[in-house]
Amino acid sequence: MRMIVFPSLYVKRTLLLVLIALVGIISCQESKSTVQTNERPFIKGVYGNPGSLLEAGYAFDELGLNAIFVRSISLNDNLYETANKQNAAVFVEFPTLNGRNYVEEHPEAWPIDKTGNPAPPADWFMGVCPTDPDFKEYRSNQLRNILSNYEVGGIFLDYVHWHAQFETADPILPETCFCDRCTRTFADHYNLNIPESDIATRADWILENADPSWREWRNIVLNEWMIDMKTIVKEKQPDALVGIFYCSWFPEDHDGALYNTLGIDVEAFAEIADVLSPMMFHKMKEREPEWVSDYTTWLGERIESAVEEKPLVWPIVQAHDSPVEVSPVEFRQVMIEGSKPPSTGIMMFSDRSLLDNREKIDVMREYYHSLDED
């Protein structure tokens, strides 16, 4: 297996000093996004099944890509070998708490809502109870298998949230999970005496009498997932990065649902992950393109004051036409917005949207190559 090696920071700094001596200027304009940091070049990626671009006759290096972010189900030997030959680092998306197929075969892992019933799918998404030990072992084994077969640039954990749907302007935010295992584990953690009763009664008691602790515990559960998955990655491949795709809400959005319902504490994620990849799907959330850089600026300020070892920030931006069209012009704008500091990388969602409108391929190619020229 071939490890992708990035240029050393020493060499890059030496080259920079030579340039300064020759021209006497340093560009601090929009091209600042190409500054080399943390011994890595600015990441220029595509997310999804990048093999579809190869099948359509394109090459990663010709498109200006130096990284691909591939769904684990789409990773194969041919894609991996071609990416290495074309100097594109391979990062693998790992669907951590996406449990649709699993819960249908293992009902004990189905998340339970506050009425005591199995939570219905949230649009297309079906989560899983994060405390189910068999599911965690199932995912752990899948992760070990990927890392045993492929030497990767990193693993990007996806769907690290409690059952919900946030990729829309009107999110679906059920209260879960109140299964016997979750309520028992929660009670033990805080030494609580939750009344022995039916699930709905227990859920009401928790929400009325221990709501802050309940929210905190749910975040702890997600953080433990992150830590356990990161441990597996670092044991198998110490140099691989651990990234996370996560919902890019501000803490106050939707009445604090980022923490209260999804269970996400951005500062906690920043302390664990090597890379944060906020999902900047502006059309899905009915936002303007400028929202992309507004959020990443906020994120940089937040982690600067809260986290000692700063994670990298690589946003994923939307090219996908949902719920309405993202024009090629708008696509270019969100790529520019997502490339502004503190970002040290950018990727787009998804390969399919490029092939559906090949003007977007031209936009991506031109923009990525322009970063090299700067």
Report the first-to-last Cα separation within the chain, whole angstroms: 32
Which distant-in-sequence residues (6+ apart) come within 8 Å of 302 by Cβ?
266, 267, 270
* DSSP 3-state of 108: helix
Residue 11: per-residue pLDDT: 34
Average pLDDT over residues 98-107: 95
Residue 225: per-residue pLDDT: 98
Average pLDDT over residues 242-250: 98
- On the question of pLDDT at 35 being above 90, the answer is no
Average pLDDT over residues 154-177: 96
Element (H, E) at 303: helix 290-306
- On the question of pLDDT at 28 being above 70, the answer is no
Whether 25 maps to a domain, the answer reads no
Residue 40: per-residue pLDDT: 81
Concatenated DSSP letters for 42-70?
Answer: PEEEEEE-THHHHHTT--TTTTT-SEEEE
Q: pLDDT-based confidence at 374, cuts 50/70/90?
A: low
Strand partners, 122: 125
Q: pLDDT-based confidence at 14, cuts 50/70/90?
A: very low
Whether 246 maps to a domain, the answer reads yes
Q: pLDDT-based confidence at 373, cuts 50/70/90?
A: confident
- Which tokens sit at 263? 């269970």
Task: Identify whether the C-beta of residue 91 lies closer than 8 Å to the C-beta of residue 70.
Answer: yes
Backbone angles phi, psi at 134, to 5 degrees: -70, -40
How many structural domains is the chain composed of? Answer: 1
Which distant-in-sequence residues (6+ apart) come within 8 Å of 186 by Cβ?
192, 194, 206, 213, 214, 217
- Which tokens sit at 351? 């390969």
Q: pLDDT-based confidence at 52, cuts 50/70/90?
A: very high
Rounded distance between C-alpha atoms, residue 300 and residue 343, angstroms: 8
Rounded distance between C-alpha atoms, residue 139 and residue 155, angstroms: 13
Which distant-in-sequence residues (6+ apart) come within 8 Å of 96 by Cβ?
139, 157, 158, 159, 160, 225, 229
Whether 201 maps to a domain, the answer reads no
Whether 152 maps to a domain, the answer reads yes
- On the question of pLDDT at 150 being above 50, the answer is yes
Rounded distance between C-alpha atoms, residue 54 and residue 43, angstroms: 19
Whether 330 maps to a domain, the answer reads yes
- On the question of pLDDT at 248 being above 50, the answer is yes
Max intra-chain CA distance, the chain: 77
Whether 182 maps to a domain, the answer reads no
Average pLDDT over residues 332-358: 97
User: Residue 242: which CATH number?
Assistant: 3.20.20.80
Which distant-in-sequence residues (6+ apart) come within 8 Å of 32 by Cβ?
340, 341
Per-residue model confidence as pLDDT tens digits over 255-285: 999 999 999 999 999 999 999 999 999 999 9
Whether 36 maps to a domain, the answer reads no
Per-residue model confidence as pLDDT tens digits over 170-227: 999 999 999 999 999 999 999 999 999 999 999 999 999 999 999 999 999 999 999 9
Residue 79: per-residue pLDDT: 98
Whether 188 maps to a domain, the answer reads no
Residue 233: per-residue pLDDT: 98
Average pLDDT over residues 62-78: 98
Q: pLDDT-based confidence at 63, cuts 50/70/90?
A: very high
- Whole-model pTM: value is 0.89
Beta strands of 187-240 (E only): which ranges?
A: none
Element (H, E) at 276: strand 275-280
Residue 266 lies in domain: 45-104+121-169+221-373
CB atoms within 10 A of CB 12: 17
Rounded distance between C-alpha atoms, residue 223 and residue 235, angstroms: 18
